[in-house]
Structure 1
Amino acid sequence: MTPQAPPSGGTPEPRQRTTVGTPVPEVVVEAQQLVKTHSSLGRRGLLKYLGVGTVALAAGGAVLSQLSTEDPQALASAMNDLGDGLTMLGTNGGLTVSWYAQGKDTMQHWCDIFGIELTWIDGQGDSNKQRASLDSAATRPWDLAGITPATAGTIVDPVNKIAAGGAGVFEMTSNIGGPDDTVDVLTSITQSSYEMGYQVAKLLFESVGGTGTVINTRGMPGGTDESGRYEGFHAALGEYPGMQLLAEDFARWDRSRSQELWQSYLTRFPNISVGYFQNDDMAFGALNAIDNAGRTGIKVGGADGMPDAISAVVDGRMLATARHSSCQIHSLPVILGVAWKLGAITTIPERVDVIGPVVTKNNSASVAFLQEAGVFYA
């Protein structure tokens, strides 16, 4: 990181090192010197001087306090109260889905770091309930909002009212509006659902030699996360003419619905080679049905890369899953939002893309660690 020139009235002192021989990261030293020589700047000045990197680094406040040799309490305070006094509204599809629940926990974690007051609305998988709650929320002022619709096109009016009230609105992972809607958002934070569908489906088809039968279990209709995975799956299917599609139905991201569907599939179809699932929760519902029926040999792949799915890949119950980074998608509205609100950044691209790997035994420990409570990073 290359910091901006220091404000007039002081020159940073020589860089400090810890007495135990552990190098202090450069940005930490800059923060130390800034706290010492320019404490009158306040949080806005601190942020503008050090840049947006300071915002992301605030997550390490406790670690930084341990590394620091000069006034660690002042440093931690300077780094961790950037969002003090700000309010944020968060909502996504529904907390009964593990990916959405992890997203809520992630946003709360990062809001706590920055001292932001978070109000959460549970979408409950019900567009009408989410709309009613957002209509009420839109009557109050907010500084920031991170929003995923339960169903696309159902919450456009309250979201635009929230933005008109001065909030920086971040669309998360799926389109808020329909094809003809205009939604006032700072940016859309998303990950390629097409790639998730394509890569995992391709691995599944390869695992059976490109010949066999497949069932595609879909999520919630209407969103770009569902449609992208659908398109990716079918693009891969088109490359394997030896694969026969037996069925594809919506289980709406729900484990129980998927289990019910798969109970019927296992009765109807004596031979099923592969099951592709648009999220891991639905994959586990199907695995319950498969185990209860005593069926073996069905290759299963999913998306989201949640901890239980990572363990299933390691244990061989699932062939593969793709990490859909709930942590990045739900933390960036907080990190970028603070930087935008305090003026460290003034423009954000129309879309901010995050990435997540296909989970294998080789990278499983890393993917699991980076989404643990207290990390909530990837």
Structure 2
Amino acid sequence: MKKALLTVGLLMASAAFAQNKNAVIGVSIPAADHGWTGGVVYWANRTKTELEKQYPGIKIIVKTAKDANDQANQLQDLLTVNKIDTLVVLPYESGPLTRPIKNLHDKGVFVTVVDRGLTDESAQDAYVAGDNPGMGKVSAEYLGKQLGGKGNIVVLRGIPTVIDNQRVDAFEAVLKSKYPNIKILDKKFANWNRDDGFKVMQDFLTRFPKIDAVWAQDDDIAVGVLKAMDQAKRTDIKFVLGGAGMKEFIKKVMDGDKLITADVTYAPSMIADAMKLTVKSVVTGSKMPKTTIIPSVLVTKQNAKNYYYPDSPF
């Protein structure tokens, strides 16, 4: 399978592992409460199997958490019960998980944080994430070109987080500088959720008689958007641009769907990249990049087959 190339930060982690071919690695991630996290769980378990086969001496323990408190408790168990020396963690929430993660880090556990950065960066040794500003920029460039530089759009945001702010700020910056005749009619949080995407889009459709395009930011949100449009029988909207690479949407792009003409990657497989980088560092004793950013790529009919993973739940 082809994957986007990783952009690796120039700074390297200050601490290098001593070579440890019998490492115990904890992987702590949110439970599959929506499509993207379902993909994270899929890639984490798939990569655990691959890495334990590749490095027979290591042990990887994957834990999924239903909320921030559950994850904090699991982190403590990973240390005291499972005796991990390494942690790869995608925090359920940044703020509440910073202290529990720092507790492990202070006790000598090497920590790789994925996607949702901590409020105290000293609690982590390495960071692996998607390119959130890049996602907003790529989305705005595509939308601007497809609309010929003019039109009315609506924006459905994720949840109030740094990640969402980075996406939306970059999106708006591109429109302001390159496509000033594209007007954002409104933007509302849809919580990366299908039902919320449906409700927000219903409101937009009621209030705005003409919408040229929708930036849903996320494919789960876009599912709700399409449902609302279908029920309202609105035909003025030229296309809906989601994001993250849900397989159903990649398939729509491959098949030439009239409304889903493109997607922008923010792949849940970043957990696999983080696990592979961390385990390689553990086993070889080499330094791990301090920061690894995975670029957001525009998916069109021409390259969609490279991003289609039919076995993934997302």
* TM-score normalised over the length of structure 2: 0.82
- Give the match for residue 95 of structure 1: 32
CA drift at 1:146: 2.1
- 1:46-81 Cα shifts (integer Å, max 9, x gaps): xx8xxxxxxxxxxxxxxxxxxxxxxxxxxxxxxxxx
| Structure 1: distance between partners of 2:155 and 2:277 | 36
Are residue 86 (structure 1) and residue 28 (structure 2) matched?
no
| Structure 1: distance between partners of 2:235 and 2:212 | 10
- Give the match for residue 114 of structure 1: 51
Label 1:129 to 1:258 Cα distance change in 2 as closer, same or farther (>3 A).
farther
C-alpha RMSD of matched pairs (Å): 2.4
| Structure 2: distance between partners of 1:184 and 1:354 | 21
The amino acid that maps onto 2:113 is E
Give 3-state SS (helix, strand or coil) of 1:153's partner: helix
Name which of structure 1's ranges 110-119 and 257-266 shifts more when overlaid on structure 2. 110-119
- Give the match for residue 94 of structure 2: 152
- Give the match for residue 275 of structure 1: 214
- 1:291-348 Cα shifts (integer Å, max 9, x gaps): 1110123221111012111122232331321111221x11123212222222x14312
- Give the match for residue 304 of structure 2: 364
On the 8 A contact 2:131/2:296 being kept in 1, the answer is no
| Structure 1: distance between partners of 2:236 and 2:262 | 15
- Give the match for residue 304 of structure 1: 244
Matches within 5 A, 1:1-378: 86-92=24-30, 94-115=31-52, 116-122=59-65, 124=66, 126-134=67-75, 137=78, 139-140=80-81, 141-175=83-117, 177-178=118-119, 181-223=120-162, 225-238=163-176, 239-298=178-237, 299-314=239-254, 315-327=257-269, 329-342=270-283, 344-368=284-308, 371-373=309-311
On the 8 A contact 2:113/2:126 being kept in 1, the answer is yes
| Structure 1: distance between partners of 2:191 and 2:156 | 9
The amino acid that maps onto 1:155 is L
On the 8 A contact 1:200/1:322 being kept in 2, the answer is yes
The amino acid that maps onto 1:159 is I
Structure 1: tracts of 5 or more residues without a match: 1-47, 49-81
CA drift at 1:144: 2.7
Structure 2: tracts of 5 or more residues without a match: 1-18, 53-58
- Structure 1 residue runs of 4 or more that deviate by more than 6 Å after TM superposition: 82-85
Percent of paired sites with the same residue: 24
| Structure 2: distance between partners of 1:252 and 1:138 | 32
